[in-house]
Chain A
Amino acid sequence: MRIEKDLVAAAAAPLVLGILAEGETYGYAILKRVAELSDGRMTWTDGMLYPLLHRLERLGYVEASWVSAPTGRKRKVYTITADGRAELAERRTQWEVVSAALDRVLDTVTPVPRPAEGWA
């Protein structure tokens, strides 16, 4: 199962903030963590993570600094800020509302195994 692109995009920011709330980390490790959390089902064009991180940085939700990686190369690591944690809490409330509404409406419809063909 693949998750729809728009849904991934909507989930991206809270997901990244959540991962950063676990501790400071860097781009490639964030993507590995996303794959781990979603059992590899949330796919992403890797390069798109960085503009998102830069946006979060501009908004003040994360802070970036350059450190020396164990390989000796320089690496940009991100840390969540207090504003970022507040934003994460806010996003969490929003997701809970959306998720609860979805749960309620999906409970009322009987699940159809596969959409019958020829309806249109």
Chain B
Amino acid sequence: MRAAAGRDRATLPTGDLEEQIDAWRGYLAGARAVDATDVDELEDHLRGQITDLAAAGLSEREAFLVAVGRLGAVDEVSREFAREHSDRLWKQLVLWDEPSAGSGRAGARRRGLVRALLLAAGAALALKLPSLLGVPLGGGVDGSDDVDVMFYLLNAPALVLPFLGAYLALDRRMPWRTALGLLLVPFVVLVAVTNLYPYDALGATAVLAGIHLPVVLWTLVGVAYVGGDWRSGRRRMDFVRFTGEWAVYYVLIALGGGALTGIVVAGFAALGLDATGFVSSWLVPCGAAGAVVVAAWLVEAKQAVVENVAPVLARVFTPLATLVVLALLVATIARWDGADVDRGLLILVDVLLVLVLGLLLYVISAREPAAGPGAFDRLQLGLVASALVTDAVMLAAMLSRTAEYGLSPNKVAALGLNVVLLVNLLRAGWLQLRFLRGVERAAALERWQTAYLPVFAAWAAAVVALFGPVFGFV
């Protein structure tokens, strides 16, 4: 203990008493089980002790050192706090700060939550607005369950995501001009394009636009997330982290919402009331839309409190995904002639590559920049390499057929995405190899991924804007 007390002393700067107490506070606050009010309480003790010792004739500095020593080694004291407050080792999300904490921060948090809830309600209402104007979304007044699939396919994300973007832009205090130029104008252009193009109802190009539009809109959400600072690689990586956590929270909220919905339906059915119309036309769409903003608020609120989940999932699934990819490779080679090589397989390969890229990206997002290569990095290289080989083999099996039957919009979209992913993974694999050999630093892997993000957005935007006219809106 004496040695530990000596170490405490060694970390203290020489300076006046206030500086020393500040440094001591900072050191103590680093212990997880000791919260801010505990530090206040211990500081009161320390000051009482110092006053008494100084009155007994010690200098301020001597009194401080003796008082800190008597308080005990920080390690030991914080261990004792941890024994009493073991719950604090499970970090808790505090929605409002404790009343004893500063009122300014609590006020900011409360405003953030109120804003999130208002915008969530706005998103829910915006999704319902077209149905009130005559575009059916099930549960119509006349009892019809019609849904204008075509309209909602193209517009549902455009109705909901602006509220998420507004939440983030307001939170970041984006200047109006920046928001107008970087968010509003591109958004209006996209919505105008998708709605003015004379798509065939549920034709291939319309479906493709419906699939790719959310990606473009999510990019705009990203621009709002980084507060307009979209050139910064670090901020882009923050947005990648945000996206992963948002997805995890959204799924969790959806699971909870699903359970509640089931209870509502079953409960009212047991009472002889049919709630399915209300559930399918109000509860589910409004809940799904509102959860988009609420999940974002949760990610923002818990940022520093809870460890990121997406990188943990990515680490868990990297070995498993490697096995799956290798199994598919073997299966493709074994069934070379008989394989039903069609659009479905092409989409499957794309999904596979997206998965591999996602695993890669989220492991990188949690990487300690200074850490050297380890066994897990070799495993990642194996995953990328096997994914590339599988992709090459499947493409080879497919290209002959594509040549036979010509190019449909779906095939071009799938092939284009494949190329986009392939380029990324080739370079990522190469960098990973150089990193393992010690030629490249880990930061290069991250820089490549963040630099490549706009390519995905550009490809998705190209599909939305060009595929319709090029393929005649079929």
What mask results when residues 7 to 40 of chain B are scored 1 for a CB within 8 Å of chain A, else 0?
A: 0000000000000000000000000000001101
CB of A95 closer than 8 Å to a CB of B: no
Instruction: Give every chain A residue within 8 A of B85 (Cβ-Cβ).
Output: 51, 54
Provide the bound-state CA to CA distance between A71 and B85, in Å: 29
Name the segment of A41-49, A81-89, A102-110, A111-119 touching the other chain: A41-49
> What residue in chain B is nearest A28 (Cβ atoms)?
B48
Tell me, in angstroms, the Cα distance from A15 to B76 when the chains sit together: 22
Nearest CB in chain A to that of B83: its residue = A51
Interface set, chain B 32-77, CB cutoff 8 A to A:
37-38, 40-45, 47-49, 52, 70-72, 76-77
- Does more than half of chain A's interface fall in helix, strand or loop, or is it mixed? helix
Q: Is the CB of B71 within 8 A of A27?
A: no
Asked if residues B80 and A46 are in contact (CB atoms below 8 Å), the reply is no
CB–CB B38/A50 < 8 A? yes
- B100 to chain A: which residues have CB within 8 Å? 66
Is the beta-carbon distance between A48 and B80 smaller than 8 angstroms? yes
Q: Are A51 and B84 interface neighbours, CB within 8 A?
A: yes
Q: Are the C-beta atoms of A54 and B71 separated by less than 8 Å?
A: no
Q: Give the shortest distance, in Å, between B3 (CB) and chain A (any CB).
A: 14
Q: B49 touching A48 by the CB < 8 A rule?
A: no
B456 contacts the other chain (Cβ, under 8 Å)? Answer: no
Given known A54-B84, A66-B100, contact A47–B44 (CB-CB < 8 A): no
Instruction: State which residues 7-36 of A face B: CB under 8 Å.
Output: 26-29, 31-32
Bound Cα distance from A32 to B70, whole angstroms: 13
**B81 within 8 Å of A by Cβ?**
yes
Other-chain contact of A50, B42, B49, B83 (Cβ < 8 Å): B42
Known A51-B83, A54-B85; judge A73-B47 contact (CB<8 A). yes
Q: In the bound complex, how far is the Cα of B458 from the Cα of A61, in angstroms? A: 65
Interface range, B side: 20 to 34
A28-B71 contact given A47-B77, A51-B80, A51-B83, CB 8 Å threshold: no
Residues of B within 8 A of A50 (CB): 38, 41-42, 45, 77, 81
For B80, list chain A residues within 8 Å (CB): 47-48, 51
Measured CA separation A76–B81 after assembly (Å): 16
Contacts of A98 in B (CB 8 A): none
User: Is the C-beta of A120 less than 8 angstroms from some C-beta in chain B?
Assistant: no
Query: Contact between A46 and B72 (Cβ–Cβ < 8 Å)?
Result: yes
Which chain A residues border B38 with CB–CB below 8 Å? 50, 54
Q: In the complex, what's the smallest C-beta–C-beta distance from B83 to chain A, in angstroms?
A: 7
Binary contact readout B140-157 vs A (1 if CB under 8 angstroms, 0 otherwise): 000000000000000000
Contact assessment for A47 and B71 in the assembled complex, using a CB-CB cutoff below 8 Å: yes
Q: Using Cβ atoms and an 8 Å threshold, which residues of chain B touch A69?
A: 44
Q: Which residues of A contact B72 (CB under 8 A)?
A: 45-48
Q: Is A74 an interface residue (CB 8 A)?
A: yes
Contact partner, A46, options B37, B52, B71, B83, Cβ 8 Å: B71
Q: Evaluate contact between B44 and A76: CB separation under 8 angstroms.
A: yes
A48 → chain B, closest Cβ, in Å? 5
Q: How far is the CA of A48 from the CA of B84 in the complex (A)?
A: 11
Residue A92 interfacial (CB < 8 Å): no
State whether A76 touches B71 (Cβ < 8 A): no
Smallest Cβ-Cβ distance to A49: which chain B residue: B45
Cβ of A91 within 8 Å of any chain B Cβ, yes or no, is: no
Beyond contacts A26-B44, A31-B45, A76-B44: 7 other A-B pairs, Cβ-Cβ < 8 A, are A28-B45, A46-B71, A46-B72, A47-B80, A48-B77, A50-B81, A51-B81
| 7 residue pairs A–B, Cβ–Cβ below 8 Å | A27-B44, A46-B49, A48-B80, A51-B77, A52-B84, A69-B44, A75-B44
Q: Residues on B close to A: CB < 8 A?
A: 1, 37-38, 40-45, 47-49, 52, 70-72, 76-77, 80-81, 83-85, 100
